[in-house]
Amino acid sequence: MKKTYLLAFTIVLFFFSAFAQSTPTELQVKKVILSEDFSTNSNKWLISEKDDHAIIFEQGKYRMNSKNGGSWFSTIPVELSKDEDFEISVRVNKISGTDGYYFGFVTGYDIPLKFYHFFGITGWGNASLFKMTPERKDLIPQKIYAPVNKGNTANVLLLKKINGMFKYYVNGELIGECPAEELYGNRFGFRIWSGNENIIIDFDDLTIQKYQSKPIQLTVDNNTTPKKEVSRTNNEESGEIYASTVDFNNPGKYYAIIIGVSNYKDPNIPDLDSLPIKDAMSLKRTLNKQYLFEKENIKELYNPTRRDIVIAFSEMAKKITTSDNLLIFYAGHGHYEKDNDIGYWLPSDAEVGNPSNWLYNDQLVADIKKIKSLHTLLISDACFSGSIFKTRSVSMEDASSFVKQKYQLASRKAITSGTLKTVPNKSAFIKYLLDRLNNNKSKYFTTSQLFQSIEQPVSNNSTSLPQFGVIQNVGDEGGDFIFIKR
């Protein structure tokens, strides 16, 4: 009997071992290949201004003006192979002009053939996904869709190619899907039609991401020694960020973007009695008085619009170096769509039922990726999409033995309140966050230690369960953001 059990166990072990060696698990992740806020023309978009049209940069937007009618194009090279899954998101704002013609984006444009796929809307509320060849073919029916905002207003268009399907979203809502098709060429861009009339369209907040399957090998080699990086560079091809050699006694600068939203223009969004702004101001004072955050390096945004937040991130990306640290704090309302696992922050110009001025968590992550700091820490007292970051266990090792190592490795971490609805007027999360930072006696206070100190009291005194994790695919290498006392 013992031999029978032993034989069975050996067979099971053999097959498990073979599976582990030959069939690694795959993890689907996103990689940003283009993130464009149109603050500069670094991607060499067409600029043209003539009697019959104007294609220009206007106040951080890419504007196409047909003037006397016609159809206008602008494209740049973007590599999306036929075998890759991807998603494309862009904010389109109709400023003025005719409502009866389409505007949107094209992908897979082939210059010699002039073939492409088009995804767009009209001012009447129509939406369409079609491919343009010698014969135009609709892939999603042309008709009016409820999620499309009509007239002179903004809409967010999102196309996903995933698992063999094209899925088309407007303002976060799925309006259609169809079998995916191979793209004709390697150019992406924008197109407007206007017949014999005028139309003006602004394009903004463009993000193109690829889905990648990364293998996770199930075997373990106990003789493998982790390789230590000794220098930090930006790899332009992969976008990865590597570890640095730092002078721990003379760290880089500490920057902060502090956002508090208490008052909303839309009467349907309840105001928060100025508490998020007060909380944000309290955190700013703590960072400045007790830690190495100088006043000139703290950007304060109180009741900002969506545009204010986007500009603040763009400006911060220009000044931060690879030796510096960045803390981002947000307190205010948020919105979470469980079915799509999409989270938004609500700036002061947000409107109920109109997501065009909501700030997608995906867009926030793309903005974080562009900031080449050594450490970035996001603290959000509002809902945050769970797919954005992967949680991990928190180690409470003695800081004196590992802080230097943690500081040398790049990090991109997030602490969130765990709230998936609008925040309560009084936040237990910010209460204990400020308490732990104000009463910390250690010279070096890691983010891991900070989270460990607030997790239990926050969950015991609210309905939220705080979360701590790595922001995925933006360069985290296992390091930690370190608060250094003055």
| Identity of residue 485 | K
Q: What is the pLDDT of residue 24?
A: 36
The CATH number for 28-213, chosen from 3.50.50.60, 2.60.40.3880, 3.40.50.720, 2.60.120.560, is 2.60.120.560
pLDDT digits (tens), the chain, 486 positions? 444 444 443 433 433 333 333 333 334 556 788 888 888 898 999 999 999 999 999 888 999 999 989 999 999 999 887 678 899 999 999 999 999 999 999 999 998 888 999 999 999 999 999 999 888 899 988 999 999 999 999 899 999 998 889 999 998 889 999 999 888 899 999 999 999 999 999 999 898 988 765 443 333 333 433 333 333 333 333 333 333 344 555 678 999 999 999 888 888 888 777 788 989 999 999 999 999 999 899 999 999 999 999 999 999 999 999 889 999 999 888 877 767 667 788 899 988 888 888 888 888 888 888 898 989 999 988 765 444 554 333 333 333 444 555 566 677 888 888 655 444 456 788 889 999 999 998 888 888 889 888 888 887 877 777 888 887 776 777 778 989 998
| Identity of residue 33 | I
Distance of alpha carbon 128 from alpha carbon 102, whole angstroms: 8
Distance of alpha carbon 126 from alpha carbon 246, whole angstroms: 55
The single residue listed with the structure tokens 């000794």 is 230
Question: 332 phi and psi, to 5 degrees?
Answer: 160, -170
Q: What is the pLDDT of residue 382?
A: 78
For 252, the token pair is 């880089």
Kindly report, as residue ranges, where domains of CATH 3.40.50.1460 are found in the chain: 233-484
Closest by CA to 156, choosing from 87, 205, 102, is 205
Distance of alpha carbon 263 from alpha carbon 311, whole angstroms: 20
Q: What is the pLDDT of residue 45?
A: 95
Please answer whether residues 197 and 98 qualify as being in contact, where contact means their C-beta atoms are separated by less than 8 angstroms. Answer: yes
User: Which helix or strand (DSSP H or E) is residue 109 part of?
Assistant: strand 103-110
Please answer whether residues 255 and 297 qualify as being in contact, where contact means their C-beta atoms are separated by less than 8 angstroms. Answer: yes
346-381 in b/e form (b: 16+ CB < 10 A) is bbbbbbeebbbbbbbbbbbbbbbbbbbbbbbbbbbb
Please answer whether residues 361 and 384 qualify as being in contact, where contact means their C-beta atoms are separated by less than 8 angstroms. Answer: yes
Closest by CA to 342, choosing from 189, 167, 223, 124, is 167
Distance of alpha carbon 101 from alpha carbon 103, whole angstroms: 7
Q: What is the pLDDT of residue 288?
A: 93
- Alpha helix positions (H), 207-305: 275-290
Say which CATH topology domain 233-484 has.
Rossmann fold (3.40.50)
Distance of alpha carbon 294 from alpha carbon 484, whole angstroms: 12
What are the residues facing 213 on neighbouring strands?
Answer: 28
